[in-house]
Structure 1
Amino acid sequence: MRWLGQAGEIPSDLTKYPGYRFPAEVIHHAVWLYHLFSLSLRDIELILAGRGMVVSHESIRRWYLRFGADFAAKLRKHRPRPGDAWHLDEVFLKINGDLQYLWRAVDQNGIVLDILVQDRRNATASRRFFKRLLAGLKYKPRRLITDGLRSCGAAHRDLLPKVGHRTSRYLNNRAENSHRPTRRRERQMQRIKSPEQAQRFLSAHSMIYGHFRPRRHLMTADQYRRVRDKAFRIWRQETCVQASV
């Protein structure tokens, strides 16, 4: 499949985002590549060139900055209701030599519920993450599972006192494993320039990446293909809708 005509022109029947000369199909494909695979911007530039679209890596950078969060927000509407057991964990990120902490919550099915980048992991930071998590989901879990961080216990007592809480480094592998895609992207990006950049990118990345990464090992081949086809159908439906700029 090629996006350009024989003379190199862009077909007029392709969907366009207002203010952008490249078709929506090209833009959302570039954003998809960037979030699903550990590719650099120059790698994606080369892939698009192989499909007949000459675009600079700087344009691709502007696309994922402009559209990544919007695409993620649209996919969030199609996410199934979270499970009733939530796993919470935090890992450090080194940004310009300073330690920051990436807070993450997933349910028992491995679906990322929310993330938050903060410069502390004390009780105040824990409460801030709990409030963000509850405000964004509108649901309460039956059980929380965390590691031994005491600040999580303080936030639990203040905000979710009726919810069961278990602390164990061995029961929280679900949350710890969910950090792996972040670590891969951190290495690929070489460095993250600011906490704001980390929050913006990782929020979109967790939603877009998770949309196309169901728990494959729990499905038959036919089930997986149906889930995959549905994910692509939703992606095309949501990302090719014209957006105001």
Structure 2
Amino acid sequence: MKPIHTPRYARHRFPAEVIGYAIWLYFRFPLSLRMVEEILAARGILVSYETVRQWALKFGQSFANQIRRRLPATGDKWHLDEVAINIAGRKHWLWRAVDQHGVVLDILVQSRRNAKAAKRLLRKLLKKQGITPRVMITDKLASYAAAKKAVMPGVEHRQHKGLNNRAENSHQPTRRRERIMKRFKSAGQAQRFLSVHDRVANLFRRPANTNAADHRASRAQAFRVWSEVTSAASA
């Protein structure tokens, strides 16, 4: 196959296919940068892990933004949850919202776990999603009720720990990446990485109760979207 070159990758030694593949490996799977370097080397692509890191920083968020625009509309039931993460010896809180289908709506890394932090998450969600949910489901943290009252007073709010397993389960991939990366180095790094990581996961997510044929069709569509996003598809 003849390599495809686009203005986005001008002055880059490697073509779009290689750069897109490296970024896909890094954000899709629990791999360190050195592991990605080794996988590429096994395929005859000699590139340093530092180069992969620079590619992820330069192109990752742009890819994530395009994925968000291409995915179907999200559900009307939002599950919100927060989990503690240790960054540079200090406790931070990763706030995450998912819909009833398990699609991650957004994340926000903050140093506080209070009503002000919850309001920031809700305002960010409303700005990004452009719609108000029908139902908001959280655990019994009082900050959610206070934030909901101020930001989305008309939305039904259900507070019950057992109802919020979907949001709590969505933190598991983050924990795996934390271990591989030996913890995040800063709140900014965590925010940047997870913002891209969760968008890529949304694209390749396997819906529940999907048979093999539907899964293969869905995966093929995801690869087509990824190819368009990374400009690796021919015109």
Alignment TM-score > 0.5, same fold = yes
Deviation at 1:157, TM superposition (A): 0.7
Match of 2:64 in 1: 72
TM-score normalized by the length of structure 1: 0.91
For residue 15 of structure 1, report the CA deviation from its aligned partner.
2.2
Which consecutive residues of structure 1, in runs of 5 or more, have no partner in the other structure?
4-10
The DSSP-based 3-state class of the residue aligned with 2:70 is coil
Q: Residues 111-150 of structure 1 correspond to what in structure 2 (within 5 A)? A: 111-150=103-142
Amino acid in structure 1 at the alignment position of 2:43: R
SS of the residue 2:107 aligns to: strand
User: Partner letter of residue 101 of structure 1?
Assistant: W
Conserved 8 A contact 2:107-2:195: yes
Residues 162-211 of structure 1, C-alpha deviation per residue, up to 9 Å, x if partnerless? Answer: 11001011000000000011000000000211100010000000001221
Count matched residues. Answer: 231
| SS of aligned partner of 1:77 | helix
The alpha carbon displacement at 1:214 in A equals 2.2
CA distance in structure 1 between the aligned counterparts of 2:217 and 2:22, rounded to whole angstroms? 24
Distance (whole Å) between structure 1 residues aligned to residue 165 and residue 38 of structure 2? 37
Match of 1:29 among 21, 40, 44: 21
- Per the alignment, residue 227 of structure 1 pairs with 218
Match of 2:56, as an amino acid?
Answer: Y
Aligned ranges 1:209-228 → 2 under 5 Å: 209-215=201-207, 217-228=208-219
- Matched residue SS, 1:173: helix
Which one of the candidate residues 85, 94, 97 is aligned to 2:86? 94
Aligned equivalent of 2:175: 183
State whether residues 4 and 232 of structure 2, in contact with CA within 8 Å, keep that contact through their aligned partners in structure 1: no
TM-score (norm 2): 0.95
What corresponds to 2:44 in structure 1?
52
Contact 2:81 2:139 in 1 (8 A): yes
Q: Map of 1:9-28 to 2, 5 A cutoff?
A: 13-16=3-6, 17-28=9-20
**Based on CA coordinates, which of the two structures has the bigger radius of gyration?**
1
CA RMSD of aligned residues (A): 1.4
Whether the aligned pair in 2 keeps the contact of 1:15 and 1:25 (CA below 8 Å) is no
Per-residue deviation at 1:222?
Answer: 1.2
Q: Secondary structure at the match of 1:218?
A: coil
Equivalent in the alignment of 1:7: none
Letter aligned with residue 15 of structure 1:
H
Opposite residue 229 of structure 1, the aligned amino acid is: A
How many percent identity over aligned positions? 52
Deviations 1:59-98 (A, max 9, x none): 0111111111111001001121111110000001100110
Q: Find the aligned partners of 1:78 and 1:227 in 2 and give their Cα distance.
A: 14
Rounded to whole Å, the distance in 1 between the matches of 2:83 and 2:202 is: 19
Whether the aligned pair in 2 keeps the contact of 1:144 and 1:165 (CA below 8 Å) is: yes
**Aligned AA (2:47):** V
SS at match of 1:92: strand
Contact 2:137 2:159 in 1 (8 A): yes
Q: Which amino acid aligns with 1:234?
A: V
1:239 aligns with 2:230: yes
Larger mean CA deviation between 15-24 and 231-240 belongs to 15-24
Distance in 2 separating the partners of 1:241 and 1:56? 21
Q: What secondary structure is seen at the aligned counterpart in 1 of 2:131? A: coil
Give 1:161 shift.
1.1
Tell me the distance in 1 between the aligned counterparts of 2:163 and 2:94.
19
Secondary structure of 1:38's partner? coil
